[in-house]
């Protein structure tokens, strides 16, 4: 079918896999522009000005896993490892929420099991006592019992990517891990009532456009609330140091197609897209169907060591804070205007 007809069809029926592949395969400017603008229109029609900003606290860069692409992998030797204490974590969140207006916080770390489920639950409880905030946990693969404890302590969401839906590719990149286990855990979390943010990496070795279509279909079939897909970025301390980065164009196409398929989902502009596109990343993402941003709240002294990939973008957050752009909800029009001013 013709490209523009597929774009129209998404309003009245589910797109077929072949159609999704067709959308993701385009490299024509006119088609891409039409698709981004369609996604932006749908975002506006279905979510109006709803827009959200997440603050992320990266509280430990220790990891027991050995994912081939990740700078924090167990075998990365030149990483200065750190762990924030429970008090440091609670205080960073407290400051962000009570003094700076954040309403959504992501607590992220490597798969660091030295923070037991009890310790994490304690941190969550303390935060919830002190502030009104939505807490996402991004702490990797743990037992479902662990996730149950964190939910009972007050955690609201999880940020937990399946990384790729191509099983063979998944297994080649994640030694000792199982794709089925990961998806099963995700489904458990969903049953527990967690708000689910999940997604995948773009630009993995041998990954095809068919794989990416399946990744998006997987997110939808899981019934995720939030779609997080970012480009792979090579890291020197990993076996994938010389593998080329995922492309910004594919990332934007994925953002747009996700919006076409999941009109009400939250879709953040990922830090990885900002890293490969700098200032432009946010604008491009937000005009291709995304409606959310992630700000870094990790204390300065640790930030440089949370090196999932190099040169992680930190943005001109002062500008955002000056304009109060970090609040949970704000007029999208106003946001665009302020962004245009701020980044002139």
Would you count residue 158 as binding ligand 5AD (CB under 6 A)? no
Would you count residue 147 as binding ligand 5AD (CB under 6 A)? no
Q: Which of 172, 305, 313 is nearest to 243 (CA)?
A: 172
Distance CA 82, CA 179 (A): 28
Would you count residue 308 as binding ligand 5AD (CB under 6 A)? yes
In Å, what is the CA distance from 37 to each residue of 74, 257, 284?
42, 11, 11
Selected binder of ligand 5AD within 309, 320, 326, 332 (CB under 6 A): 309
Backbone angles phi, psi at 249, to 5 degrees: -60, -45
Distance CA 57, CA 226 (A): 19
Q: 110 vs 146, which CB is nearer to ligand 5AD?
A: 110
Minimum distance, C-beta of residue 67 to ligand 5AD, in the bound complex (Å): 7
Q: Which of 143, 149, 103 is nearest to 127 (CA)?
A: 103
Q: Which of 66, 13, 7 is nearest to 40 (CA)?
A: 7
Q: 223 vs 244, which CB is nearer to ligand 5AD?
A: 244
Residue the block writes with tokens 């063979």: 168
Buried b (16+ CB within 10 A) or exposed e, 249-286: ebbbbbbbbbbbbbbebbbbbbbbbbbbbeeebbebbb
Distance CA 238, CA 222 (A): 31
Would you count residue 233 as binding ligand 5AD (CB under 6 A)? yes
Stretch that binds ligand 5AD, among 38-46, 97-105, 210-218, 231-239 (CB under 6 A): 231-239
Minimum distance, C-beta of residue 68 to ligand 5AD, in the bound complex (Å): 9
Would you count residue 218 as binding ligand 5AD (CB under 6 A)? no
Q: What residues from 268 to 307 belong to the interface with ligand 5AD (CB under 6 A)?
A: 272
Stretch that binds ligand 5AD, among 165-173, 209-217, 226-234, 319-327 (CB under 6 A): 226-234
Would you count residue 230 as binding ligand 5AD (CB under 6 A)? yes
Backbone angles phi, psi at 141, to 5 degrees: -80, 120
Stretch that binds ligand 5AD, among 177-185, 227-235, 247-255, 293-301 (CB under 6 A): 227-235
Selected binder of ligand 5AD within 169, 186, 201, 267 (CB under 6 A): 201
SS3 144: helix
Q: 68 vs 192, which CB is nearer to ligand 5AD?
A: 68
Stretch that binds ligand 5AD, among 116-124, 225-233, 283-291, 315-323 (CB under 6 A): 225-233
Q: Which of 141, 153, 157 is nearest to 190 (CA)?
A: 157
Minimum distance, C-beta of residue 20 to ligand 5AD, in the bound complex (Å): 21
Chain CA centroid to CA 115, Å = 22
Q: How many residues at the interface with ligand 5AD, by CB under 6 A?
A: 12
Distance CA 335, CA 208 (A): 35
Tokens, residue 26: 């385009």
Minimum distance, C-beta of residue 146 to ligand 5AD, in the bound complex (Å): 18
Would you count residue 163 as binding ligand 5AD (CB under 6 A)? yes
Which positions touch ligand 5AD (CB under 6 A)? 69-70, 161, 163, 201, 230, 232-233, 235, 272, 308-309
């Amino acid at each position: 079918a013709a490209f523009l007809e597929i774009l129209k069809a998404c309003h009245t029926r589910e797109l077929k896999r072949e159609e999704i592949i067709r959308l993701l395969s385009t490299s024509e400017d006119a088609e891409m522009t039409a698709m981004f603008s369609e996604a932006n229109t749908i975002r506006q029609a279905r979510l109006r000005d709803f827009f959200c900003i997440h603050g992320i606290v990266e509280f430990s860069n220790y990891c027991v896993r050995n994912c081939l692409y990740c700078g924090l992998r167990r075998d990365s030797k030149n990483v200065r490892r750190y762990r924030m204490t429970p008090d440091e974590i609670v205080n960073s969140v407290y400051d962000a929420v009570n003094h700076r207006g954040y309403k959504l916080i992501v607590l992220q770390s490597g798969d660091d099991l030295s923070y037991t489920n009890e310790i994490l639950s304690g941190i969550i409880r303390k935060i919830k006592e002190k502030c009104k905030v939505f807490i996402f946990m991004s702490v990797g693969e743990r037992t479902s019992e662990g996730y149950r404890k964190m939910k009972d302590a007050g955690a609201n969401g999880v940020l937990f990517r399946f990384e790729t839906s191509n099983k063979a590719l998944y297994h080649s990149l994640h030694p000792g891990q199982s794709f089925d286990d990961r998806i099963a855990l995700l489904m458990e979390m969903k049953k527990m009532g967690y708000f689910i943010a999940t997604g995948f990496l773009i630009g993995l070795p041998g990954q095809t456009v068919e794989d990416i279509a399946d990744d998006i279909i997987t997110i939808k079939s899981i019934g995720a609330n939030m779609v997080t897909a970012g480009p792979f970025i090579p890291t020197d301390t990993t076996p994938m140091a010389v593998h080329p980065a995922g492309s910004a164009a594919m990332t934007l196409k994925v953002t747009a197609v996700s919006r076409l398929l999941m009109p009400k989902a939250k879709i953040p502009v990922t830090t990885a897209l900002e890293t490969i596109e700098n200032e432009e990343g946010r604008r491009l993402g937000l005009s291709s169907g995304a409606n959310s941003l992630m700000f870094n709240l990790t204390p300065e002294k640790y930030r440089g060591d949370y090196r999932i990939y190099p040169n992680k973008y930190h943005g001109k957050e002062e500008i955002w804070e000056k304009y109060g752009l970090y609040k949970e909800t704000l007029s999208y029009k106003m946001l665009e205007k302020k962004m245009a001013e701020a980044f002139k």
